[in-house]
Amino acid sequence: MPRIALVTCRPGPEISVDRDLPVLVGALREVGAEADAVCWDDETVDWSGYDLAVLRSTWDYSWRAAEFLAWAERCGKETRLANPAEVVRWNADKRYLGELAAAGVPVVPTRYLAPGDGADGLPVDHEYVVKPTSGAGARFAARYTPDEHDTAAGQLARMHAEGFTAMVQPYVKGIDVSGERALQFYGGRLLHASRKGAVLTPGTPYDSRKVAHPGLEPWTPTPAELAVAERALAAVPRAPELLYARVDLVDGEDGAGGEPRVMELELVEPNLFLSLHTGSVPRVVDAIVAAAAG
Ligand SMILES: Nc1ncnc2c1ncn2[C@@H]1O[C@H](COP(=O)(O)OP(=O)(O)O)[C@@H](O)[C@H]1O
Ligand SMILES: [Mg+2]
């Protein structure tokens, strides 16, 4: 009987409820596994008592990144951690988009402004997005027109003061037409896909809480989306060791029908949206049980 930890975090004002978690715990127990939902920062947990720890909803990690990465490394020594700590470390910093671009994967064009870089490089001729390299749920993300320079510079200054590196991207207009598609992979194969609308509305302050998945619905990926997703995954260090992955895509500059580009590659704690895809539960369970057996 495999012993499996599904790793989550403590509830809090900035944390949404993980609806996938009870479904997975129940489904794993139904096939005879021992499954517990446990918090990553619970110091009473003996990780070595599990055959596998699967990261599920550690949704506070983006603002506790150093602490979380240190924990992942420790946990990965005491048990098998999925995804592996090294992958988690690589994926926790969105500078990986630059690496994907260098490997020839189409990504949303991105510039990075680290603390000390100042605000001189903000675009003056197009709408743009400022967001942190360590982020989730659109936390600390906002869009600006060139005449909102001072507000954007204020966001940059606060992020830099708090030690965050900022990313500056053109606002991808295609997202208002065709939305953002999330292609979910589990056990090395496409599991299912979903589509959602644009999150950033004009004038919404960066530090307000956003609706993270507006208008979420099931989606059938196009061949072009699948091809870009597979190229992105092939470029991940230690790609064969991935248990799960989510590739978020938007249509490039030319709007709907343009080349899909990677907005985000989620290898840490992807929301699986199982309530939209109940038929996917057995495949997730099979992949987790197989991973626990090593
Ligand atoms: N360059 C962009 N153009 C248009 N919308 C964007 C852009 N960057 C982010 N967004 C919006 O903000 C949301 C959150 O950004 P994302 O990069 O996915 O970070 P995270 O989901 O980790 O917070 C996206 O789902 C998208 O709706
Ligand atoms: Mg995202």
Domains of the chain, first to last: 3-91 (3.40.50.20), 111-170 (3.30.1490)
Q: Does residue 254 surpass a pLDDT of 90?
A: no
Tokens read off for 112: 């990075």
- Cα–Cα–Cα angle for 78, 79, 80, rounded to 5 degrees: 140
The model's pLDDT over 117-156, given as tens digits with 9 standing for 90+, comes to 888 889 999 999 999 998 778 889 999 999 999 999 999 9
How many whole angstroms from 263 Cα to the centroid of ligand 1? 7
CB-CB contact of 284 with 248 (8 Å): no
Task: Classify burial at 53, counting beta carbons within 10 Å of its beta carbon; exposed 0-12, middle 13-18, buried 19 or more.
Answer: buried
Residue whose CB lies within 8 A of the most ligand 1 atoms, among 94, 159, 165, 200, for a mutation test:
200
Q: Point out the ligand nearest to the CA of residue 137.
A: 1
* Rounded average pLDDT over 222-244: 96
Length of the chain: 294
The model's pLDDT over 69-80, given as tens digits with 9 standing for 90+, comes to 999 999 999 999
For 59, phi then psi, to 5°, come to: -80, 0
Type of residue numbered 211? V
Q: Where does the pLDDT of residue 14 fall: very low under 50, low under 70, confident under 90, or very high at 90 and above? A: confident
How far is residue 72's CA from residue 88's CA, in Å, rounded to a whole number? 8
How many whole angstroms from 199 Cα to the centroid of ligand 1? 7
How many whole angstroms from 141 Cα to the centroid of ligand 1? 7
Give which of 135, 89, 104, 98 is closest to 238, Cα–Cα: 89
How far is residue 182's CA from residue 193's CA, in Å, rounded to a whole number? 5
Residue whose CB lies within 8 A of the most ligand 1 atoms, among 94, 140, 175, for a mutation test:
175
Largest CA distance in the chain: 61
Q: Is the CB–ligand 1 distance for residue 269 below 6 Å? A: no
